[in-house]
Structure 1
């Protein structure tokens, strides 16, 4: 089952509870920092969804996970259902974080839609794109599978939703308010997904990575590959054992694949003058592969 609850003791968020923000699951801590990775969780989930990935990613990667209102410490606050507004807010947050180092964006399920919209907003705002946009277990908004299957999931009730996300929580002690608080973020994120507009404008010019589950009941490899229509750097989908929730069963394998794709995306990247890098100014790609400086 997906991860619920408050963030770990080492995690910290900086914004108000009623605003989307990023929780630092592994903060940037000076010299070891090479790259900032922004992670967008699936429907109904919060930042701790990615906590299990942190130990399997190189220490050079500062991991920041999205915390949306209505869940975790912010249970009961109004949820977001406007994808463009959410993308604008997250793009502005990433711009405030920018310290000149490379950054990447990873999203799973509905989080993939949020990730793509955030990068699109960053591009529209004239900000430099991420070195890598990694999208997992979601069809592109323009793909026929997305428009055909998403309404069925939303309108099919608990049975259809649990096919995707696993067993949903019951309200503690049968408390109706607890059940509403548990379900509301899930339903809000599915509504958010239904409102994502098709991509407009030129293709995104950033390295793309596509991941999925071999037995996903909704997202086929073909629909996952539909993201290539929106990118000038297409990618072949990488499939892992499991269904829609495959990341929780393949943490180490997915982290290894993501690390390799991050390293590839950094080839040719020149670090800031005051940042870590080689004598030639190039960021050490090998440091991401094995956790030591090359």
Structure 2
């Protein structure tokens, strides 16, 4: 059983445009708010990547997506390539946001490596872990699959980049500066991935969820399952139709699976939010309404 007593929600400092931050895609909804979901996007993408998922996630979940420098409104600002430092910064952000509610972390592709490093940093800092760490389309740092395929991406020019990260915007083909601005965060995130260290220390004590594409040319199911080596609560990979960029082709199904895994991770949670005095300190079943059973496209 997990337990946590809220320590207050201190004022959060304003973050400069050249610093990583979480953008709130859907805020908490007062007394109905149950869980914070932190989402880490794939290489080169910004927080808006996860906007399509919010209509399919329960309203009891507030959604916060990572915005890194070098993309979106911060195009042209220096990018991050140090996974350890980035994990520390994001862990501190999550600690600042802590209001006693449970939280979960979800990362796709390079975002999965960022999610892992963030949760590892939180653990090192002595902070309670998330109830769920959901990792998508990425090999564990100690698995050889990603680095074995990296040279094809690095030396393959635009074709190599698109094989891993999806098609570049059409306007980039006609504007060299736009192409450079599009490539820089993708290449930076690839460098960040290549520098992600293997997990050190005891296994993470948090529920794991693993997702991937059935036809992913980069990350095999075996590589995805490698994450089970670093947790005391392993998971069976769930595969969806598609390749490395499968999430946006399976928004509803992936959201449903994620909701179901969040619900499972909350069982036994010791609920102690700002509830009436006579209800505080009691154990509640998580009240999350959502399409948790509609996962017909997973296997």
Task: Flag whether TM exceeds 0.5 (same fold).
Answer: yes
Gaps of 5+ in 1: 1-12
Query: Partners in 2 of 1:239 and 1:246 — Cα distance?
Result: 10
Structure 1 counterpart of 2:7 = none
Structure 2 counterpart of 1:165 = 165
Stretches of 4+ moved more than 6 A in 1?
Answer: none
Aligned CA distance change for structure 1 residues 236 and 180 (closer, same or farther; 3 Å): same
Q: CA deviation at 1:170?
A: 5.0
Query: Partners in 1 of 2:87 and 2:227 — Cα distance?
Result: 18
Query: Partners in 2 of 1:103 and 1:232 — Cα distance?
Result: 18
For structure 1, which segment, 48-57 or 271-280, has the greater mean C-alpha deviation from structure 2 after superposition? Answer: 271-280
Q: CA deviation at 1:242?
A: 0.5
Query: Partners in 1 of 2:155 and 2:211 — Cα distance?
Result: 26
TM-score, with structure 2 as normaliser: 0.88
Matched, 1:208 2:208: yes
Query: Partners in 2 of 1:91 and 1:273 — Cα distance?
Result: 21
Structure 2 counterpart of 1:113 = 113
Look up the SS of the partner of 2:30 in the other structure.
Answer: coil
Look up the SS of the partner of 2:29 in the other structure.
Answer: coil
Gaps of 5+ in 2: 1-12, 293-299
Structure 2 counterpart of 1:83 = 83
Aligned CA distance change for structure 1 residues 172 and 218 (closer, same or farther; 3 Å): closer
CA RMSD of aligned residues (A): 2.0
Structure 2 counterpart of 1:259 = 259
For structure 1, which segment, 174-183 or 24-33, has the greater mean C-alpha deviation from structure 2 after superposition? Answer: 174-183
Query: Partners in 2 of 1:79 and 1:283 — Cα distance?
Result: 43
Query: Partners in 2 of 1:18 and 1:288 — Cα distance?
Result: 37
Look up the SS of the partner of 1:31 in the other structure.
Answer: helix
Aligned CA distance change for structure 1 residues 276 and 163 (closer, same or farther; 3 Å): farther
Structure 1 counterpart of 2:63 = 63
Aligned CA distance change for structure 1 residues 273 and 233 (closer, same or farther; 3 Å): same
Query: Partners in 2 of 1:242 and 1:120 — Cα distance?
Result: 30
How many residues were matched structurally?
279
Structure 2 counterpart of 1:281 = 282
Structure 1 counterpart of 2:94 = 94
Structure 2 counterpart of 1:174 = 174
Q: CA deviation at 1:33?
A: 0.7
What is the CA deviation profile of residues 74-132 of structure 1, one whole-angstrom value per residue up to 9, with x for unaligned ones?
Answer: 11110000000000000000000000000000000000000000000000000000000
Q: Are the equivalent residues in 2 in contact too, given 1:277–1:284 (CA < 8 A)?
A: no
For structure 1, which segment, 42-51 or 150-159, has the greater mean C-alpha deviation from structure 2 after superposition? Answer: 150-159
Aligned CA distance change for structure 1 residues 271 and 172 (closer, same or farther; 3 Å): same
